[in-house]
Amino acid sequence: MKYFFLSFLFVAAIVVSAAGFRGSKSELPPIEILPDMDHQAKIKFQTSSEFFADGLGARRPVKGTVPMGYEVPQAPAAENPRPPKFGFTNGTSYYHTGKVGDYYGDGLPPEVEVTTELIQRGAERYAINCAICHGASGNGKGMTSRYGILNAFNFHQAGSTDPTNQAAYRPDGAIYDVIVNGKGLMGGYSANITVQDRWAIVAYIRSLQTAVKEGQVTVQ
Ligand code: HEC
């Protein structure tokens, strides 16, 4: 019986210590067993700071900063309507949407001049944004495929340069649209890539396909 009372008291003490005082309020700071990164020398948003001469905690963008994914508008906002859908484009033309009416267009829009610089720019942007999944050569076997995570589109699969092959061919406007809005497992990249750069990537993918087709580049 003695042991029963002792163990009863013991269990009661544990229950009270674990659950008993929950919900009660205290003026004392909470006991921090693992403070992690709770206390840091940082500035919270919308607060002032004596560190900067203007007394503001938040910094203004550096002069001349351009938000990523936007073209600097050439025309006033009223003349430059946004498409009804979201997306970091500021126009409804083929150049901005990749679409002619309800259909994807093929060919580069007149706003895009095909130059060596454009292709080089596209190559650079492709390497930064797309190669991780689609592979440096565009065969869909980028770094991510080594880990079995994604099965990205192969730009060199059979029929990929034949416009009548719906399964493998993608019109220029369709590639542009996938860069903006993503598709299936792929997310959109409109926030990272400007309108002009998206077309540069499209142009680069086309030159990659031509190079592979003509045997200048081999795809493993
Ligand atoms: C995080 C990995 C990833 C990145 C980065 C990526 N893609 Fe993709 N992409 C995919 C996957 C996965 C698919 C297949 C989507 C599906 O069918 O579900 C795909 C599909 C596509 C398609 C074919 C869509 C269709 O019509 O079937 C195109 C075109 C494409 N990507 C272009 C690009 C371009 C251009 C870039 C760079 C701006 C890019 N992707 C970056 C993963 C990626």
State the amino acid at position 60 in one-letter form.
Answer: R
Q: What are 153-177's pLDDT values in tens digits?
A: 999 999 999 999 989 999 999 999 9
Q: Is the CB–ligand 1 distance for residue 208 below 6 Å? A: no
Give the mutation target among 150, 151, 153 for probing the ligand 1 site: most ligand atoms within 8 A of CB. Answer: 153
Residue nearest to atom 35 of ligand 1 (CA): 179
| Cα 183 to averaged position of ligand 1 atoms, centre (Å) | 7
Q: Tokens representing 77?
A: 């906002």
Q: What are 180-219's pLDDT values in tens digits?
A: 999 999 999 988 888 899 999 999 999 999 998 888 877 7
Q: What are 29-42's pLDDT values in tens digits?
A: 888 888 888 888 88
Q: Tokens representing 4?
A: 């029963």
Q: Is the CB–ligand 1 distance for residue 153 below 6 Å? A: yes
Distance between CA 134 and CA 155 in Å, rounded?
8
User: Looking at the chain, how many residues does it have?
Assistant: 220
Cβ atoms < 10 Å from Cβ of 199: 26
Distance between CA 127 and CA 140 in Å, rounded?
13
